[in-house]
Structures are given as C-alpha cells and as structure tokens.
A = this chain, B = another copy of it.
C-alpha cells in the first residue's frame, strides 16, 4: 500500500483531514510530567491516546526530540511505537544531502524508525532527493513554500520568469517516478496555496501553519480545493490554554475542535 492509499483509508474512517503535530517542549508541558523517567515519552503517549480517534496522521518534529539528546531519541522511538498502525506518520526532519548521505538519512527515518513519510529540503537538487523517492511505499514532502517569514527571502525569488518555489515544484515533479512525492506548502499564504494547488491538483501537500502560526482552517481548506492534504496543527492542540478536568481532556477537545474544522470533502 502506498502512503497515500493508507492516508485515504484513514480519512474515510475519521472523516477529517487533521494531521496532529507533536513538538514536545518541556517548558510547556504540564508540571506533572517532569517527575516521570522520560517526560517527553509520557507526554507523547498521552497526546496519541487523546487524539488517535480523530488524527488522520501525526507529524513528529525531530528538532524537538533531538534537543533532549538520548532521552529525546528514546521518546521519539516510544512515541512512534505508540501510534496505531493505520495512522500515517510523518518525520518532520527537513533532511537533504549528497546522494550517499541522503541514502543514510532515508535508512534512518524509513527503516530504523519506520516512518511513513518525511520532509526534505530541495536546495541540493535531484541526487539529494532520489534516495528518499526510491522507497515505493513512503511519502516524500519537499519544501516548496514554507509557512515562516523567511519564505520571503529565497523561495519567491524570480528564476526564469517564475518564483523559485515554482521551479522547485516543476523540477521535483520530474523526479516523481513512483508517485510518492508531495510538497510542503504553508497555510499562512492561502492565495499562493491556491495557485500552487491549481498547478499540481493531485499531489499530496503537507500544510503546516494552522493555529499558533496564524493560518485559518477554513481559508486553507478552500485554497487547497480538495487536493490530497495533511493539514497540520501542532501547538494549538498540544498546549491548550483552557481549563479542563485533565490535560489529556483538554488536548482531546482541542484536537476534536480542529478535526471538525477540517472535515473531509
């Protein structure tokens, strides 16, 4: 089964397009976790338990695990193991290097950790992406137009009469031999999202930026025009500010709120 087929089956179960992002931050998780042997692993387990009835996918942000060293790596392994097998897992790792090195990164994420998909950076070109695209059942989201302010610095520069991100998309589509390619397109630029979606109507998009970064769920859904998508919400679900009987309840309520804002078409 391809990662996209798995995703479609899962969307049919949940009726939503919500991707839950897990960015563990020890300074933001409830005090309760601090006394446990691996706070980040326990936090991740609780987030998965609170949201797995409604999440179509999980995006784990590698930086937030790596910042805790060995404990973080252990938490990453435990969290990925706790996710039910019918839910897509995305390694948000932004990898990319020369061919033989990208091959090792693909091995790390797809084989060692058994993620279904990864985010990669296009700057180093074709041979930096091909080792990821060689896996038939794994998804590869190439950074196109990211959600941050820095997306204005290089991604929109005009190259051959087009924006750099358009050139990236066109070239990467040529590398898409197995139909496993997707793009990262930020929710914070809905007009450009609509423009990009029109150019590649059937390619999966990972769309971060809804919630804490300011992207609006409805506007983003409209801009995406029904294309295959992973609408990611991280901080707005992980770190709810409302008072509920328990932290897990608060996370569940927030996830359900976003799931209802992101229905399948």
List chain A positions with a Cβ less than 8 A from chain B: 23, 61, 63-64, 66-70, 72-74, 77, 92, 94-99, 101-102, 104-105, 107-109, 111-113, 121-129, 143, 146-155, 157-160, 164, 167-168, 171, 213
Smallest CB gap from A148: residue in B: B98
The answer on a CB contact under 8 Å between A67 and B164 is no
The answer on a CB contact under 8 Å between B112 and A124 is no
The answer on a CB contact under 8 Å between B108 and A66 is yes
Q: Which residues of B contact A66 (CB under 8 A)?
A: 104-105, 108-109, 112
The answer on a CB contact under 8 Å between B63 and A108 is yes
Q: Which of A23, A70, A72, A157 has its CB near the most chain B CB atoms (within 10 A)?
A: A157
* Distance to closest chain B CB from A27 (angstroms): 11
Known pairs A124-B143, A125-B154, A150-B126; A70 contacts B73 (CB<8 A): yes
How far is it, in angstroms, between the C-alpha of A113 and the C-alpha of B155 when the chains are bound? 31
How far is it, in angstroms, between the C-alpha of A147 and the C-alpha of B112 when the chains are bound? 27
The answer on a CB contact under 8 Å between B150 and A128 is yes
